[in-house]
């Protein structure tokens, strides 16, 4: 089964070491995610594309305990088979905090400050039978 990204331009794919694609303000160095053209910090109008770090620390988290509404959600919304998933902000040193799914959904195993690494996870199957993938962060073993 072929794998396709949920969207182009948000993370590098295909890649052995996928990275999120962000922007950096040319004037003040502020980082943004996803890519945008203007800087909310200094109101600068010029930004450049930058790849974000793959490792960071968990700044906060929750667990999505019920199926999100579809649309917009592309994943499993059947209450019988839906599996809760973690959601958190991961602080990428020197750059930004990014929001992402987490591969861990057990409140006992999620701790603020723990080391996390970016991975790619399956989300759904599209009409052509491709596996749609998105980005997530996993605890570093």
Partner 1 sequence: MSTEVAIVGIGMHEFGRTEGVSGMEQGVIAVRRACADAGVKWEDVQFAFGGSAAAGAADTMVSQLGLTGLQFINVANGCATGGSALFSAYNTIRSGVFDLGIAIGFDKHERGAFRVDTRGAGLGNWYGASGLALTTQFFGMKINRYMHEYGISHSTLGKVSEKAFRNGSMNPMAWRRKPISEQEALDSLMLSYPLTQYMFCSPGEGGVALILARADKAHLYTDKPIFLDAAVVRSRRFGSFEVLAPSIALEHNAGPTVDSSKAAFEMAGIGPEDIDIAQLQDTEAGAEVMHMAENGFCEHGEQEFMIQAGDTEIGGKFPVNTDGGCLANGEPIGASGLRQVYENVLQLRGQAGARQVPNDPKVAYTHVYGAPGISGVTILSR
87 binds partner 1 (CB under 8 A): yes
In angstroms, what is the minimal distance from the CB of 37 to Zn ion?
Answer: 12
Beta strands in the chain (DSSP E): 3-5, 21-25, 31-32, 47-51, 55-64, 85-92, 96-102, 115-125, 131-139
Q: In this complex, which beta carbon is closest to partner 1, that of residue 126 or of residue 140? A: 126
Tokens describing residue 20:
């999120």
**8 A C-beta contact, residue 12 and residue 118:** no
Instruction: Single out the residue of 20, 21, 25, 118 in contact with Zn ion (rule: CB under 5 A).
Output: 25
Instruction: Single out the residue of 42, 70, 84, 140 in contact with Zn ion (rule: CB under 5 A).
Output: 42
**8 A C-beta contact, residue 74 and residue 124:** yes
Query: What whole-number distance in Å separates Cα of residue 112 and Cα of residue 85?
Result: 16
**8 A C-beta contact, residue 124 and residue 91:** no
6 binds partner 1 (CB under 8 A): yes
Instruction: Single out the residue of 21, 25, 96, 118 in contact with partner 1 (rule: CB under 8 A).
Output: 96
Query: What whole-number distance in Å separates Cα of residue 33 and Cα of residue 132?
Result: 21
Q: Which does 44 bind (CB under 5 to 8 A by kind): Zn ion, partner 1, none?
A: Zn ion
Residues making contact with partner 1 (CB under 8 A): 6-7, 10, 22, 30, 32-34, 40-41, 59-66, 68-69, 71-75, 85, 87-89, 91, 94-101, 107, 112, 123, 132, 134-135
Q: Which residues bind Zn ion (CB under 5 A)?
A: 25, 27-28, 30, 39, 41-42, 44
């Amino acid at each position: 089964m072929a794998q396709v990204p949920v969207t182009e331009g948000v993370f590098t794919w295909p890649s052995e070491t996928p990275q999120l694609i962000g922007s950096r303000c040319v004037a003040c160095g502020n980082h943004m995610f996803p890519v945008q053209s203007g800087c909310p910090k200094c109101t600068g109008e010029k930004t450049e594309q930058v790849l974000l770090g793959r490792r960071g620390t968990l700044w906060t988290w929750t667990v999505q305990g019920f199926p999100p509404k579809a649309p917009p959600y592309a994943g499993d919304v059947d209450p019988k088979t839906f599996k809760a998933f973690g959601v958190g902000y991961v602080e990428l040193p020197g750059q930004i905090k990014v929001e992402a799914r987490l591969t861990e959904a057990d409140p006992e195993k999620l701790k603020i400050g723990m080391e996390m690494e970016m991975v790619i996870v399956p989300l759904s199957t599209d009409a052509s039978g491709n596996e749609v993938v998105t980005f997530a962060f996993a605890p570093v073993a």
